[in-house]
Amino acid sequence: MSDHGIFGPRSVTWRVMGEPILLVGGIRALLLQGLHPRAMRGVLQNSALMDPAESWSRFVRTTEFVRVRTYGTHAEVERAGRRVRKIHATLTAYDPDTGETFHLDDPAALRWVHVGEVDSYLSVARRAGVRLSDDEADAFVAEWRMAAEVVGLKAAEVPGSVAELRDYIDAERPGLRFVPEAAHPLRLSLNAPLPRLLTPLKPALPALTLLAFATLPRWARRLYGLPATPVGDLWATATLRTLHTGIGLVPANVRYAPAARRARRLMAA
């Protein structure tokens, strides 16, 4: 199959995204995204994320979207993107701070969600020990401009390098906070709704959530009301490296998901 989608075997994205440690990056992305009031309210007012009857199916749909966007063909990516763009354009939420009703395709909120994802994947990968030069890190950020277009943003509207990523986050910080109507994610992780088949994994969720919190910048942890010290930073990096090294001992045919295994074969070829 010659259609490798928007990234492909020569991309940095394929090399990074298949690593299992990126699960922590995904949780970190949700935590960072949750500090944008409009992005968070859009989720709270339209999502069944914490409804036990619906949460798992929603999580599976989100995971599948990430997989298709990363590894799917152009046609598959366009189909998935069209569905997401339609949902975002249809749904609305209310902002009590301004008294406005807004659509979920609000560019400012979408841009923050995009940046939260890119920054989290890149930060966790590098701190865990995935080898990336500064040029490769810039290439990763630039490649994800194509992912931004999938959800309806223009490539030029989102950062194209690590420096631009940092500048954007710094510029957004004054408007970020944890909205009072949202339950604290760490508390939610203690009783996360899972299907019966996955109940044995429930004790691991608080630990993963705590690790994801620890990988956030100190200013973000403070917005969640959590301790933020250099010692926490060192602990997070050491834990990520230990986990990544330990996972690396697992045979590749078990360690990687099917799409990532196929991507690795194509990259090797």
Sequence ranges of the domains in the chain: 12-254
Query: Residues 12, 139: contact at Cβ < 8 Å?
Result: yes
With helix as H, strand as E and coil as C, how does 72-140 read? CCHHHHHHHHHHHHHHHHHCEEEECCCCEEEECCCHHHHHHHHHHHHHHHHHHHHHHCCCCCHHHHHHH
Q: What is the mean pLDDT of residues 218-226?
A: 97
Query: Residues 165, 115: contact at Cβ < 8 Å?
Result: yes
Q: Could you give the C-alpha distances from 169 to 96, 114, 115, 119, 226, in angstroms and in order?
A: 24, 11, 8, 9, 20
Backbone angles phi, psi at 103, to 5 degrees: -80, 155
Q: Which residues are registered as beta bridge partners of 92?
A: 103
Residue 163 pLDDT > 90: yes
Check residue 2 and give its pLDDT. Answer: 81
Closest by CA position to 22, among listed 186, 264, 268, 247: 247
Angle made by CA atoms 201, 229, 204, in degrees to the nearest 5: 5
Cα dihedral: 187, 38, 226, 235 (round 10): 90
Where do the H-state alpha helices sit in the chain? 12-17, 22-33, 37-46, 55-71, 74-90, 107-128, 134-150, 162-172, 185-189, 204-215, 218-223, 230-247, 252-255, 258-268
pTM for this entry: 0.92
Gap between the Cα atoms of 260 and 40, Å rounded = 30
Check residue 51 and give its pLDDT. Answer: 59
Q: Which residues are registered as beta bridge partners of 100?
A: 95
Q: What is the mean pLDDT of residues 78-105?
A: 93
Q: What is the mean pLDDT of residues 175-187?
A: 89
What confidence category does residue 43 fall into, taking pLDDT thresholds of 50, 70 and 90?
A: confident
